[in-house]
Structure 1
């Protein structure tokens, strides 16, 4: 039995969405998948992260102990006694937490052994929602495996609980887009579907940031939580929605340039990435980071370039790689 869930791109509203301002995000045709099979001994759960060549097995009791530890760590984070990077000891714990959370939340029992094979072609740690997609593929797969009635609000709630462990104060946009697919305007936990954008776009991988999404969010929070700059972010998102509805490339590019300037102002665009985007603008196009960006180092994750022409030559000059993506209309689902 296989479940898949797509990754995402935030077109506008990074960071602002945390402060109840709108964001526009879309699902892309990169996905995480969970293949769940009966295997092993009674009360045993195995997690096989194929991309990392890592496999671990736990009893349900051990997973509950892990869940308690992670929830304690998260409380310490909320109290300011622990950094968000220290809530999880290793990435696989996020998916183990998701499993035991839905198991206990829906009062399910593991009568026989279960093995969960995880695989993803979503770049990790680059603002494309890889963790939310993987968590949702696990949740959706486990629900189907145990023949539980599918209720999207359950899966969104469990996904958000897991996402908080990694991002601190997750907005919910990653989980919503991966759950539902397509494109949406997201604000205060509510979403309104939008048509998938038709603008020409290219995705540039500038490297995995040295700082996590959670660390970026906390850094920005300390300096800008009560700033009026979020009004400017909201205006940009509103302008982008209108430009997208008209499919006006020049107008879209102008809004993206302004979005980039705002992201630079809050300090989440590394200097090297700013140089790349400046060259993109000289070239007559527009670009911005997609996701949290970075508050340290020279790598900023994914950069969205809005242009009819491919920026390959410019990417080669900077040592960046181009990634091909398209909009994905479908969200988390069972495929086999």
Structure 2
């Protein structure tokens, strides 16, 4: 890969044919969604089985950027995603001093289903940031990557908590609180089964629904946030101290909180009930709500029963994520 630099050493040019590659993975919110944007804590886990790879290539052609996104997302999702990625690329060029005059072909190849609360847009954005960094031989820090991903996320979702932007590059479970993220202590092990309802979630609608509910009922926001914070803190302690039954119970309690706020659906509730009936320790909606996925905590020996019941209740696909610490995710 040939690189020209300015007098200050910033990358300024790329020869046609130069290619950069970047990768990221999915995420799932264990507990704390929605409340996290109001200052409550949230716990999230990486889903390394679902990956995104982006390539950025300099080609001969008119100045600008062209995108190819694999899979079959709906046209509005593609438009929304590429608008955010164009803004991200412009920010990358501006902050790094890279030459934005060549024609860039950006290809995003991802296994993360869109609109399911699994961080598809953030994973795509992170992969593109690292593809550009590779293309221009530019080292990006984790904080720089986060800021660039947030540029795209805020276009896609409005005000973004940052949970997705951090977790799609994390090596293990994370605690988020008031904009800060740190690794979680893991003392209880089990399996997280993620079940896709087949229905695209509607994060923006869910956020607005929750906000409208808060506006209609005095004290509703404070009650919701306080309850969410207590459940998340109890879940964190159970996770750290090896109490899987308590962790599962807090997950189910959190689902009840979101359902009471109108953020679940009949289909999601049926999946939660199926997981519990099959012996799951706890289950809840994960992500923005009004569709998307259910996350269930189960012991290893009951995972097969839980998965079978989830399919019987309408799940269209499932993924199994071992609950473990960052060192073990890296193996």
Q: Which residue of 2 aligns with 1:200?
A: 191
1:138/1:315 Cα in 2 relative to 1: closer, same or farther (>3 Å)?
same
Q: Which residue of 1 aligns with 2:288?
A: 292
Match runs of 1:98-247 below 5 Å: 98-195=88-185, 198-209=189-200, 212-224=202-214, 226-247=221-242
Match of 1:27 among 18, 25, 46: 46
* Pairwise CA distance, 1:52: 4.1
1:253/1:173 Cα in 2 relative to 1: closer, same or farther (>3 Å)?
same
Root-mean-square deviation (Å): 2.4
In the alignment, the residues of structure 2 paired with residue 53 and residue 35 of structure 1 have an alpha-carbon distance, to the nearest angstrom, of 19
Q: Which residue of 2 aligns with 1:301?
A: 292
Indicate the SS of the match to 1:315.
Answer: helix
Say which is worse superposed, 20-29 or 142-151, in terms of deviation. Answer: 142-151
Structure 2 residue runs without a partner (length 5+): 1-19, 216-220
8 Å contact kept, 2:271–2:314 = no
Q: Which residue of 1 aligns with 2:278?
A: 283
Indicate the SS of the match to 1:326.
Answer: strand
TM-score normalised by the chain length of structure 2: 0.81
Which segments of structure 1 move beyond 6 Å, counting only runs of 4 or more? Answer: none
Q: Which residue of 1 aligns with 2:57?
A: 37
* Pairwise CA distance, 1:104: 2.1
In the alignment, the residues of structure 2 paired with residue 258 and residue 290 of structure 1 have an alpha-carbon distance, to the nearest angstrom, of 13
TM-score normalised by the chain length of structure 1: 0.80
* Pairwise CA distance, 1:317: 2.3
Indicate the SS of the match to 2:71.
Answer: helix
* Pairwise CA distance, 1:99: 1.3
8 Å contact kept, 2:193–2:298 = yes
1:106/1:38 Cα in 2 relative to 1: closer, same or farther (>3 Å)?
same
Indicate the SS of the match to 1:8.
Answer: strand
Structure 1 residue runs without a partner (length 5+): 55-84, 295-299, 331-336
Q: Which residue of 1 aligns with 2:244?
A: 249
8 Å contact kept, 1:213–1:293 = yes
1:12-49 deviation line (CA, Å, top 9, x unaligned): 10101010110000111112111122223253422111
In the alignment, the residues of structure 2 paired with residue 307 and residue 24 of structure 1 have an alpha-carbon distance, to the nearest angstrom, of 17
8 Å contact kept, 2:238–2:246 = yes
Q: Which residue of 2 aligns with 1:58?
A: none
Aligned residues: 293
Q: Which residue of 2 aligns with 1:75?
A: none
